[in-house]
Structure 1
Amino acid sequence: MADEEDELLENEEIEHPDEYNDEEGDDVDDDDDDEIGILERLRLQFRGRIDQDKDIKRPEKITYDPALPTTHAYLGTDLEDYSGRTVLDDECSISLPLVQLPGVVLVPGETIPLHFFNPRIISMMKHILQNNRTFGMLYDSQERPSSRREISVPDLGTTAEIFSAKEEDDGGIETMRMKAMGRQRFKVMETRRQADGILIGQVMILPERCLPDVLCTARRRSLGRRRMVPHHISPSAKDGGMQWLKERRKRHLSEADLTWWPPWVYEMYDEDALMVKIKNELRGWYENSLQLKQMPATPSDFSFWVASNMPLDDAGRIGLLKIDSAVQRLRRELELLQKCTVLCCRECSTQIANKSDVFCMSLDGPMAAYVNPGGYVHETLTVYRAQNLNLIGRPSKENSWFPGYAWTILQCRRCTSHMGWKFTATEKNFKPEKFWGLTRSALKTGLQTDEE
């Protein structure tokens, strides 16, 4: 195995970090003994082996502040914040400027950082900031047609509202950094291209269909008190709400005895019961790295949160966005969570991680969107253990999405596709000492079939 790893390292022509000091390239002072030791360990780790840490245990305690990644400090601290929120009426028709980003499917409630260099888009964003700060985000499949006539615009998107932005002039090059949040789903009715190349769409805001209680027609109002779950039993308890679910089954679904169908049929369409089941399923993914109280409380918001944090491919995420009902969306997500077992390379199907390796390094959840200095947005999933990956390049702290961690590029060992980054702590008190950030566009999930 050692000879095989040496051969792979030679074939990859990896640049060894002979001089890895601080960000400015200055010599490290003698007083920084702790940092020297950590950086030296990074150099030795990088030189000595291919990234193949199979026996790493799940971190028992995370000392890193999960609020740091949510600030996107690499964009700078001088962004101007905007208050207020724009809510568009359901099923209303409105004209919106549209933006397509490669490999990004924006979900309502998801924060997306952006860095634009295109003068036309920057001009468009200036106009948006002067109005309702809202534009439409469309999926870009990255597959270019052979002729311009074949160019098609997706029929589904999500509105994005800017809540922080900064325009600057970098050596004569105008750029704009901003943060936006997904708000509402919309359907594209028609599009037109302006003379300056900006895409404008006439869109209809899609509503969230709220289904009535599954047993509302089978119960008597006079028995309302008997159906209430005791206050000391909470659906967000440490047991994942299983006791709450048992009480609900006894009290709320007893009316099913008056109908043709057994109670478990109605439970399949009970949004509260579905949320409890999904939370218990997520405990096998994230364990103690995410508190249940940090998840959205309403079924619709919770369903979107789950959709934005699942390592689905673009087609799977778009499929969830097309569902108009939170109940049906939750049912589909529960099915996917129960069947997903492994995370594989999208190109060659090599296994990269297991679902039990996923954990949270951010308050946003295990997956969040980050933007690199070139303006490319990566939706990144954090895992504490990965395999079949090669380290490319030397560790760097510059523009790190996780302050206090140095990043190294990851490639699939089999097909050399870009898989993400390895993050290693540059301070001794940070736990975990290292973790992996896998880009969603390079992953696909392994689903168990019914036969298996």
Structure 2
Amino acid sequence: MADDMDDEDGRMQEEEGREDDGDDPEELDGDLDDDIIQEDEDDDSPAEEDDDNNEGLLRRLRLHIRGRLDRDRVQKRPTKVTYDASLPTTHSYLGNDLEEYSGRTVLDEDSYVSLPLLHLPGVILVPGQTLPLHLFNQRIISMMKHVIQNNRTFGMIHDGHNMQPGHDESPANIGTTAEIYSAKEEEDSGVETMRIKATGRQRFQIMETRRQADGILIGRVRIITESVLPDPLEGARCSSHDRLRLIPPLKQAKGVERDMAWIKQRRKRYLRPAQWTWIPPWVYEMYDAEVLMLHIKTELKSWFEDSVKFDTVPSKPSDFSFWVASNIPLADSQRLKLLEINCPVQRLRRELDILRKCTLLHCTECGLDIANKSDVFSMSLDGPMAAYVNPGGYVHDTLTLYSAHNLNLVGRPTKENSWFPGYAWTILQCRHCTNHMGWKFTAVKRKLKPEMFWGLTRSAVQPGFKDTQDQLHLI
């Protein structure tokens, strides 16, 4: 009986989050017909106009499914991004009339609480990440009303029915609390809807679940405590020498040279007591949160090309590790594994290993090469990847890139409900398997830089890793 109720809940979630990507089917068909005609005109080979020709009919049908080629994959990268990166963080496409809520709810660590649980296809919330929602399911809207009247906090868990083939489909027992900070109820043609903005707060472990008479899933959860490792050299240090551990500011050097000089100074001052132990200093550096954060920032510079201002990212190791987890394109199983790690140092070590190995981005369905890691950049203050919701209620973790290849365009550009104000979007498909990959964004104003960029949904891409034999494989 419990399984049947879970299946029914999953179907209701799919109805709520239908992935129509904000397109009107009739309007899209018209656009595709125009695109087919344009593609026929651009084709160098002579076109057959005979409607009775089966080969011509199949060719037109294939173009109807695949769309037209994206021929603008090569562009000169702008030396300066003029776009206001704060605009996407407001999620203005949800409207500016949402009611704001002040204050913050912090649940006691290692405590047991009861929370209403929500799971949506392809959504794994990370602490610190913003979650926009556009709800149509009346049962969930009723749940959110009750949540707002109390502490504005609910639990976000992974939808096990949306796992990729070959993975365990059992529900994950790790989730993240989401606190609502703005919401708006309204009626659309007599149907009640709700728009919500929430923020991921604390991780929790599900101990047990039950379903209420109204169908709401309630979980008894334990708030997870972050395990902070003690200083391994605490017993080897003299407290009277603490003043000698201060690292002077490095003003002359820049970039990598400055980072390496900082590490040498830290090794000289902070890790000097390691010389009095049996373990060499470099071993302690492997578990030094500050050094790990510096190495990760160095790797991210090759991804984002200095488009991310690291002075705006979290400075605490725990918060920084969650920020990294929410901004690298991982499969659901990989993101869940990072959430299961309770120690920030171990989480940083795992993320650094992923960043060093990843070289390419591939299509999840067919493995076709889509982009290089150097193409990733940030169009938002939240980072290169953030969660956005389309008019149908489906939430996409979207990664922004300077360029991408092996993609087809479907439909014409439109500014309606654009996640990036000032840009029009066009649907992208994989050229090989026609899997939905994301959107191409084109500036509607001449002075905007970049003039175009690509937004790939996290569910459609996987990082490509290079093994010891210099061959690529996917996680």
Aligned position for 1:388: 406
- Aligned-partner SS, 2:377: coil
1:77 and 1:385 map into 2 onto residues whose CA distance is: 31
Aligned position for 2:12: none
Deviations 1:247-302 (A, max 9, x none): 10111112111111111100000000101111111100111211110111100000
The worse-fitting range, judged by mean Cα deviation, of 246-255 and 53-62 is 53-62
2:252 and 2:127 map into 1 onto residues whose CA distance is: 27
Aligned position for 2:382: 364
Aligned position for 2:91: 72
1:263 and 1:291 map into 2 onto residues whose CA distance is: 30
Amino acid in the other structure paired with 1:376: Y
Aligned position for 2:145: 126
- Aligned-partner SS, 2:291: helix
Q: 1:129-278, aligned counterparts within 5 Å?
A: 129-143=148-162, 153-232=171-250, 241-278=259-296
The answer as to whether partners of 2:226 and 2:343 remain within 8 angstroms in 1 is: yes
Deviations 1:41-97 (A, max 9, x none): xxxxx9xx6114453233211011000000001000000000110001111000000
1:341 and 1:159 map into 2 onto residues whose CA distance is: 33
Deviations 1:170-212 (A, max 9, x none): 1210000010000000000000011111100000000100111
Is the aligned partner of 1:450 residue 2:468? yes
- Aligned-partner SS, 2:381: coil
Aligned position for 2:6: none
The structure-2 alpha-carbon separation of the partners of 1:306 and 1:401, relative to structure 1 and needing over 3 Å to count, comes to: same
The answer as to whether partners of 2:250 and 2:258 remain within 8 angstroms in 1 is: no
The answer as to whether partners of 2:122 and 2:162 remain within 8 angstroms in 1 is: no
Aligned position for 1:406: 424
Determine which of 132, 144, 149 is the counterpart of 1:113.
132
The answer as to whether partners of 1:285 and 1:355 remain within 8 angstroms in 2 is: yes
The answer as to whether partners of 1:165 and 1:176 remain within 8 angstroms in 2 is: yes
2:209 and 2:381 map into 1 onto residues whose CA distance is: 37
Amino acid in the other structure paired with 1:298: K
Determine which of 388, 394, 403 is the counterpart of 1:376.
394
Deviations 1:413-444 (A, max 9, x none): 00000000000000011000000000000111
2:100 and 2:264 map into 1 onto residues whose CA distance is: 45
Determine which of 326, 330, 354 is the counterpart of 2:344.
326
User: Deviation of residue 153 (structure 1)?
Assistant: 3.6
1:219 and 1:234 map into 2 onto residues whose CA distance is: 30
Gaps of 5+ in 2: 1-41, 48-55, 471-475
Determine which of 63, 68, 71 is the counterpart of 2:82.
63
Gaps of 5+ in 1: 16-45, 145-149
The structure-2 alpha-carbon separation of the partners of 1:166 and 1:51, relative to structure 1 and needing over 3 Å to count, comes to: same
Amino acid in the other structure paired with 2:441: F
2:253 and 2:266 map into 1 onto residues whose CA distance is: 10
Amino acid in the other structure paired with 1:312: L
The answer as to whether partners of 2:183 and 2:197 remain within 8 angstroms in 1 is: yes
Amino acid in the other structure paired with 2:95: G
User: Deviation of residue 240 (structure 1)?
Assistant: 6.4
Q: 1:82-121, aligned counterparts within 5 Å?
A: 82-121=101-140
1:142 and 1:234 map into 2 onto residues whose CA distance is: 54
1:244 and 1:302 map into 2 onto residues whose CA distance is: 19
Aligned position for 1:433: 451
User: Deviation of residue 232 (structure 1)?
Assistant: 4.9
The answer as to whether partners of 1:344 and 1:445 remain within 8 angstroms in 2 is: yes
User: Deviation of residue 236 (structure 1)?
Assistant: 10
Is the aligned partner of 1:354 residue 2:353? no
The answer as to whether partners of 1:236 and 1:293 remain within 8 angstroms in 2 is: no
1:239 and 1:385 map into 2 onto residues whose CA distance is: 29
- Aligned-partner SS, 1:102: coil
User: Deviation of residue 13 (structure 1)?
Assistant: 4.2
Q: 1:20-59, aligned counterparts within 5 Å?
A: 50-59=69-78
The worse-fitting range, judged by mean Cα deviation, of 251-260 and 186-195 is 251-260
Q: Percent identity?
A: 62
Aligned-residue CA RMSD in angstroms? Answer: 2.4
The answer as to whether partners of 2:121 and 2:162 remain within 8 angstroms in 1 is: no
The answer as to whether partners of 2:160 and 2:171 remain within 8 angstroms in 1 is: no
The answer as to whether partners of 1:295 and 1:305 remain within 8 angstroms in 2 is: yes
1:411 and 1:108 map into 2 onto residues whose CA distance is: 31
- Aligned-partner SS, 1:276: helix
- Aligned-partner SS, 1:241: helix
- Aligned-partner SS, 1:341: strand
The answer as to whether partners of 2:161 and 2:169 remain within 8 angstroms in 1 is: no
- Aligned-partner SS, 1:190: strand
TM-score (norm. length: structure 2): 0.83
User: Deviation of residue 142 (structure 1)?
Assistant: 3.6
User: Deviation of residue 243 (structure 1)?
Assistant: 2.3
- Aligned-partner SS, 1:57: coil
1:234 and 1:136 map into 2 onto residues whose CA distance is: 48
Determine which of 328, 345, 349 is the counterpart of 2:363.
345
Amino acid in the other structure paired with 1:263: P
TM-score (norm. length: structure 1): 0.87
The worse-fitting range, judged by mean Cα deviation, of 408-417 and 225-234 is 225-234
